[in-house]
Amino acid sequence: MDVVSIRDFSREQIEHVLKVAEKMVPIAKGEEKSNLLEGKLLGSLFYEPSTRTRLSFEAAMGRLGGRTLGFDEPKGSSVAKGETLADTIRMVDGYSDAIVLRHPQEGAARLAAHFADKPVLNAGDGAGQHPTQTMLDLFTIKKLKSKIEGNHVAILGDLKYGRTVHSLSEALSMFGAELTFVAPPTLQMPKEHLKRIESMGIKPKMSSSLEDAIKNADVLYVTRIQKERFPDPAEYQKVAGLYKVDMNMLKNAKKDLVIMHPLPRVTEIDPEVDATEHAKYFEQAFNGVPVRMALLSLVLGGSK
């Protein structure tokens, strides 16, 4: 099975992944050993920069006794000679048991899945989707809040170009969370996603005020303005640094507000916030390992 879009998953399937991920935690921490994926190879193709996603996939594979091959930037591969994505995928399909792909073009993972016989995992396709990030986000919320439904999640930042929030807001709607989208009007959630969310019976609030949104939030999901996706740098300058979560902003927050961020952050969360009980983004980043272990074991046929 491929992991291309969160839309391809039912709530039950996602819940199953989260359950398997929970069992993977001691192995992810190195406290228990596993050879579940011994002899398996993961082809890892990153056409865009990555730290957490690439390394946590590698960690996940390694902790389960499997191995990873691939590139972390296309310059050193035949992509630089003009090879098409379809051809590269056909090759790596023969060299590995599953393929994880990050690519700047929306739809790239779907295309790769078409050309590959082996399972393809989407590690981000342009401004499209980032389903494995969403699963680790859901895992984090469930762990910290004991359930997902009923929580009021405020999602802040670049909702137009941010793939993490496209996948996440659709998944949260599936689970019955309350949503507030906080962004300048030019970076609000695209209509396509709003329609999808509304079709699941969720009526998200739209706001441009972080101050207002923070008061009612149980979870504040902060994102970076996706500078690299702006066609016009002048447009980026207009919105850069517009929102900042700092100690002052947190004065009106609920005591048990959880702050998440897919990372990397630029200026949108003041480092002072790191020392508060609210800051859960590093724990969230760790959760990428057990969740990706669960996904890899499921698509590669190992079970735990």
Nearer to ligand NCD, 136 or 154 (CB): 136
Q: Which of 66, 70, 119, 124 binds ligand NCD (CB under 6 A)?
A: 124
Does position 133 interact with ligand NCD (CB under 6 A)? The reply is yes
* The residue type at 75: K
Reported as type and span, the H/E element at residue 206 is strand 205-207
The tokens describing 17, both together, are 């992944």
179 has which bridge partners?
A: 153
Give the shortest CB-216-to-ligand NCD separation in angstroms: 25
- Residue ranges of the alpha helices (H) in 64-175? 85-95, 108-115, 131-145, 163-174
Question: What is the rounded CA–CA span in Å between residue 116 and residue 120?
Answer: 7
Q: Residue 37 class from Cβ within 10 Å (0-12 exposed, 13-18 middle, 19+ buried)? A: buried
The contacts of residue 253 (CB under 8 Å, 6+ apart) are 214, 215, 217, 220, 278
Question: What is the rounded CA–CA span in Å between residue 111 and residue 94?
Answer: 17
Give the shortest CB-68-to-ligand NCD separation in angstroms: 17
Nearer to ligand NCD, 36 or 153 (CB): 153
Nearer to ligand NCD, 130 or 160 (CB): 130
Does position 54 interact with ligand NCD (CB under 6 A)? The reply is no
Nearer to ligand NCD, 34 or 169 (CB): 169
Nearer to ligand NCD, 162 or 302 (CB): 162
Q: Which of 5, 34, 53, 180 binds ligand NCD (CB under 6 A)?
A: 53
Give the shortest CB-231-to-ligand NCD separation in angstroms: 18
Nearer to ligand NCD, 205 or 244 (CB): 244
Question: 152-156 and 219-222: which strand pairing?
Answer: parallel
Assess contact for 245 and 268: CB atoms under 8 A.
yes
Question: What is the rounded CA–CA span in Å between residue 169 and residue 155?
Answer: 8
Q: Which of 63, 130, 152, 193 binds ligand NCD (CB under 6 A)?
A: 130
Place of tokens 């005591």: 255
Nearer to ligand NCD, 38 or 228 (CB): 228
Give the shortest CB-303-to-ligand NCD separation in angstroms: 27
Does position 163 interact with ligand NCD (CB under 6 A)? The reply is yes
Q: At what angle do helices 163-174 and 11-28 cross, to 10 degrees?
A: 120
Question: What is the rounded CA–CA span in Å between residue 278 and residue 258?
Answer: 5
Phi then psi dihedrals of residue 156, to 5 deg: -115, 140
Q: Which of 164, 167, 180, 287 binds ligand NCD (CB under 6 A)?
A: 164
- Name which of residues 57 to 96 contact ligand NCD (CB under 6 A): none
Does position 263 interact with ligand NCD (CB under 6 A)? The reply is yes
Does position 128 interact with ligand NCD (CB under 6 A)? The reply is no
Does position 180 interact with ligand NCD (CB under 6 A)? The reply is no
Number of residues that bind ligand NCD (CB under 6 A): 11
DSSP 8-state secondary structure symbol assigned to residue 289: H
Look at residues 297, 295, 265 and name the one whose alpha carbon lies nearest to residue 17: 295
Binding mask 207-246 for ligand NCD (x = CB under 6 A): ----------------xx----------------------
Interaction site with ligand NCD (CB under 6 A): 52-53, 124, 130, 133, 163-164, 223-224, 262-263
